[in-house]
Each structure stands twice: as C-alpha cells, then as structure tokens.
C-alpha cells in the first residue's frame, strides 16, 4: 500500500504541521491508505488527500520515453503526534 515517503522541500516543511506525503499504490483508496499509515506508524489519521501525478517525458537518445504515472497521498495526522520513522528508507 505505502511504497515510499516523498522527500521534497515542500513535503518536509509540511511535516511540521502534521502532514506527511507518501507514494502509494495506484489502486489504493483513501480508507486503505489511512489504515496502512495508522497501523505502520501507530498514529491517528485525520485526513487523506490523494492525487495522480503524471509521468514526465524523458529522452532516451533519439526516442522520447515516458515515466510511469504514480499516486501521491498527503496524510494529515492528529495534532501533537508525529511519525518518527518517516525518514527511514524502505518503510
């Protein structure tokens, strides 16, 4: 369900307000994402926002290829809680 945390400058600033960003499976629902985060990190999930990120076009020599589309979830957790293992690879 949860594939990896998304580590960007914007996602890191949002962790201060309890919003964590993850790459998730394309067929995952908001309820499944909330349950997976609550179980993996032992926190209370307040809200889940999802979006599909379109893959970028990349050149491979003369050919133009395309990166695959992926799904991003921004999970808001209860105030006063935080995810300690967010920065650990392979979560």
Instruction: Reply yes or no on whether the pLDDT at 83 is more than 80.
Output: yes
Task: Kindly compute the dihedral angle of the four CA atoms of residues 10, 22, 90, 65, in this order, to the nearest 10 degrees.
Answer: -90
pTM: 0.87
Q: Is residue 50 part of a domain?
A: yes
**Which domain, by its residues, includes 52?**
2-81
* 73, part of any domain: yes
What is the pLDDT, as a whole number, of residue 88?
A: 60
How many angstroms separate the CA atoms of 84 and 43, rounded?
10
pLDDT digits (tens, 9 = 90+) for 18-58: 999 999 999 999 999 999 999 999 999 999 999 999 999 99
Question: Quick check: is 62 in a domain?
Answer: yes
Question: Residue 48 sits in a domain of what CATH number?
Answer: 3.30.70.330
8 within domain boundaries: yes
Domain count, the chain: 1
């Amino acid at each position: 369900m949860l594939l990896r945390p998304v580590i960007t400058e914007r996602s890191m600033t949002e962790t201060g307000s309890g919003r964590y960003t993850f790459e998730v499976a394309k067929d995952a629902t908001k309820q499944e994402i909330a349950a997976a985060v609550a179980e993996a990190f032992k926190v209370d999930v307040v809200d889940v926002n999802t979006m599909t990120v379109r893959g970028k076009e990349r050149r491979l020599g003369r050919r133009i290829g395309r990166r695959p589309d992926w799904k991003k979830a921004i999970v808001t957790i209860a105030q006063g809680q935080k995810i300690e293992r967010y920065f650990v690879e392979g979560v």
